[in-house]
Amino acid sequence: MFWSSVIALSALASRATAQYEGYEGDRPMLGGGPRTGSSAMLRFGCSQVVVERLDPLVNPGMAPSTHMHQIVGGVSQRTSVQYPRRHRTADSSQNAFAPSMPLDDIAKLATCTTCHFKEDLSNYWTANLYFKARNGSFKRVPQIANQFNDGDNAGITIYYTSPGPGLTTAFKPGFRMLTGDSKLRKPDPLNPRGNMQQCYRCYNAPNHGGTMSSPCMDSKWDTDHFPKQPCAGGIRSNIVFPLCWDGKNLDTPNHQDHVAHPIKGPAGFAIVGGECPKSHPVKIPQVMLEVMWDTTPFNNPDDWPEDGSQPFYLSTGDKTGYGQHGDYVFGWEGDSLQRAMDNKCYLRNCTTELTGISPKVKNLCQVPMTVKDDLDAWLDELPGGGEPI
């Protein structure tokens, strides 16, 4: 299968020695081999910037917002940590990720990024996961670095795919979008089996063991609801964004109407196929977010609900998992993303177009919490109380 080939190439490359443009001789962590064919697929890790209750798209200006998120990507750093000058961008008096984000070129506001490529100062954020004990208390489930992202501080793995040079149009400065519905508590009619736009993989063995199918394509281990059984290797969440744009609006009031799925329905990950509707004629790169949760400390069945139901909740208060969602604010420098798509960049191999940053460097790009929640304590309720449905 396609995904098996990707994993095999990545494993080979992770053991190889390659020239690396990182900082102070950090060893390469490219996780990819040469691309064959005409398509492009970037896959790279973005370390955690902060975990807190902010959501500048859905709740602009609100601090705290309604529920907890993990945020990755670009920020304007104003702390005592010195991010190496060779990886800084131009300074700015405005922040990039903040309770409210201006409709500006975010790449010009951020001073550093937690993403692997220096040119990507975008922001990406997703809901957090919580375990609910039998006594009713909640504990945040830690996010961990994904496969082949060794050294990252938790974070999100980002994918951008394009079927070939000149076949997709990169996003414009100020572009933003949201996918998923945080209030959904039943199967999404737009989430057909095999083309799920968000899913959870239950790893049935440690160290990402088990299936190597493409995300959301495994009929046994991928579901659009939370797994109903303990997962020996943890749970992975995948969130796929639409790939058609109206060509005019950088955003809309609900952050969704300016993008759409192909006429015949959502495209499966990495296919980037299908004809776009006339209302949204411009094909954009397919974006997918991938999050790893270490649920293994919570696998004891004696700690699960007495009725045998699964014990995990999204930070929104969703016990089903159907309400998973992702937020995206574009922030690539100049035409760097377009060049990467047109030059068939593959996984983290894009040295002719993009500049890689080692985990040692990107993990320095952090900001202090602005909303003072206890991230690691047992809680009587979810931060913000969870959204009423």
* Tens-digit pLDDT profile for residues 242-267: 999 999 999 999 999 999 999 988 88
Least confident of 49-63, 171-185, 253-267: 49-63
Q: In which element (H, E) is residue 74 found?
A: strand 69-75
Q: What is the pLDDT of residues 138-177, one digit of tens each?
A: 999 999 999 999 999 999 999 999 999 999 999 999 999 9
DSSP state of 96: S
How far does CA 290 lie from the centroid of its chain? Answer: 5
Instruction: Report how far residue 254's alpha carbon sits from residue 83's, in angstroms, rounded to the nearest whole number.
Output: 35
Q: How many CA atoms lie within 13 A of 344 on its CB side?
A: 9
- Predicted confidence at residue 96, as pLDDT, reads 60
High-pLDDT (> 70) share of the chain, %: 83
pTM as predicted: 0.87
Among 6-20, 90-104, 116-130, 263-277, name the one with the lowest average pLDDT: 6-20
Distance CA 13, CA 38 (A): 20
pLDDT tens digits, one per residue of 105-116: 889 989 999 999
The DSSP secondary structure of 119-156, one letter per residue, reads TB--EEEEE-EEEE-TTS-EEEPPEEPPTT-TT--S-E
Bigger pLDDT: 58 or 320?
320
